[in-house]
Chain A
């Protein structure tokens, strides 16, 4: 009797396991399928693409790559270069200065200390689009359109990154360590750059990745500020594909351009997926 009960419970468990794995595999398939199609289609010629649907590669990957790289309207090498400049500069600036601000608030005692902390937390949720109108107006007024630095300098003030860095400092930096360094005669900046920054490396790495990816994918502000062909970033060029007369396009090239747009982030993700997934939770939800 007891044995039968155990057996039926075991069967039940196995059935639920099978159902769960089936659901997981289906969702994983769904996530990968569209990208698989993108890659397959970027290896097919326009004529092959017109023939019909298939999941087998077409053998024109390099042709499409050559055509996409040398396209007359959409200068993807320049776009990728611009995107890279903005994304890399944003990643460096936002992490360095957020760490610096968090350190300033965490370590030093000054009258506005608590006000500053609460203030930054309060502005954290304000969407960036709220400042967009004034920002655009000023950019046009002072001739700051088509300047890449206008896109990455504002990332110095990033409340979300500040919050993350502050939490990290709270968890990892003993104040005695700062005291000890002072007794050794290190200057305040030296203590921050030589002792604190190395401790914060893991936090900086995670935020650099998120900042780079966010900036690489950013479309709204760049599209309003950049219109010169040699200043456009990748998302603007992708949106341009959509607005062009689509029926005349070599579709193999279009898929290839999309692939190029997402490839840098994909490579980063494949290498660093473990720490990226860890980073998703550590900043937002305090367990």
Chain B
């Protein structure tokens, strides 16, 4: 045992992590605690007067879930909207991404120009979502180019009110989410497939397995942890969907709140009414949902 006494550097550890935790506590943790605290209070602005804060226990949560309580729409509707809007984007997103990932990694197909295709399909992910949504609004509005095209060619007798009908509004949101995310998902799934040992594919091919057999018996089972990770993270992202439907419907979730997402609902409480009580309750619900989904992610990562 050498006699040299080592200097303790422990204090430097604390010094180096101090800024992070200082900022975290002030700007994230404390506001989070305040959010939860608010959810138990009646606290909002009514015109120029501020009502509360009065302790009301779980009343905000009750209001959140109860039907037609004081003009409130039960939150299940917004939860359902958010989930549905995520699904109609995510189903094509994962189908197409899975196919593209298989195409790109196939040594048999040997696709050329991969860098170009990846660059192009990933691009919409970096575009400002609010601008993308505004672009769709301009293109699909009553006087927009899409309607001009439809009418000029006689495909529609009069402009279609894309932004006034539930099916078309939801479809547009789905298309935008699909376009923004399928490239990202492709790249992630590709990396997952590439991490599978090439020798496994090789020996399967030598055994005479068809590509369908290889997919279901080798690729998919081995890709599963990564697939679940990408899928659940996408879902967590979907729960937070805001910019696209907010800008497309001007915040109203037209028609008749069928495209109002959870965060749009939260946003309404933080606007003029400053209803910190109800907003707090919505946030806690959001937190619980993400916590459940995140624990699934952690479980799949740890299983690996």
Contact = CB atoms under 8 A, between A and B. Distances in A.
A100 B19 CA distance: 9
A168 interface: no
B35 interface: yes
A52 B146 CA distance: 9
Chain B interface residue count: which class? Answer: 35 or more
A219 B248 CA distance: 14
A31 B34 contact: no
Interface stretch (A56-64, A198-206, A237-245): A237-245
B96 A137 contact: no
Interface residues of A, number: 91
B145 A113 contact: no
Given A32-B120, A109-B13, A132-B270, A27 B96 contact: yes
Contact of A37 (B10, B139, B280): B139
B38 interface: yes
B28 A157 contact: yes
B20 A217 contact: no
Nearest to A120: B20
Interface stretch (B65-73, B77-85, B186-194, B199-207): B186-194
B183 A31 contact: yes
Interface in B190-248: 190-192, 194-195, 226, 229-230, 233, 236, 239-240, 242-243, 246-248
Contacts of B284: 130
Contact of B128 (A27, A107, A242, A261): A261
A84 interface: no
A59 B244 CA distance: 31
Nearest to A158: B20
A120 to B, nearest CB: 8
Given A24-B103, A31-B120, A254-B138, A111 B20 contact: no
Contacts of A136: 270, 274, 276
A24 B27 CA distance: 44
A238 B148 CA distance: 24
A220 B263 contact: yes
Interface string B128-142: 111111111111010
Interface in B35-64: 35, 37-38
- Which of B17, B37, B182 has most A Cβ within 10 Å? B17
Interface string A245-266: 0110001001100100110011
Main SS at interface, chain A: helix
Interface in A1-48: 13, 16-17, 20-21, 23-24, 27-28, 30-32, 34-35, 37-38, 41
A54 to B, nearest CB: 8
B286 interface: yes
A68 B270 CA distance: 31
20 contacts: A20-B103, A31-B183, A38-B135, A53-B145, A53-B148, A53-B149, A105-B13, A108-B9, A108-B12, A109-B13, A123-B28, A133-B31, A153-B23, A154-B27, A219-B128, A235-B130, A242-B250, A273-B122, A274-B115, A285-B229
Interface of A: 13, 16-17, 20-21, 23-24, 27-28, 30-32, 34-35, 37-38, 41, 49-50, 52-53, 97-98, 100-101, 103-105, 107-113, 116, 123, 125-127, 129-138, 140, 153-154, 156-157, 162, 188, 192, 213, 216-217, 219-220, 224, 234-235, 238-239, 241-243, 246-247, 251, 254-255, 258, 261-262, 265-266, 269, 273-274, 276-277, 280-281, 284-285, 287
Given A246-B141, A261-B131, A277-B118, 15 more contacts: A49-B145, A100-B20, A109-B13, A127-B236, A134-B38, A135-B31, A136-B274, A136-B276, A138-B31, A154-B28, A157-B28, A220-B242, A269-B123, A284-B233, A285-B192
Interface of B: 9-17, 19-21, 23-24, 27-35, 37-38, 96, 99-100, 103, 108-109, 111, 115-124, 126-139, 141, 143, 145-146, 148-149, 152, 179, 182-184, 187-188, 190-192, 194-195, 226, 229-230, 233, 236, 239-240, 242-243, 246-248, 250-251, 263, 266-267, 270-271, 274, 276, 279-280, 283-284, 286-287, 290-291, 293-294, 297
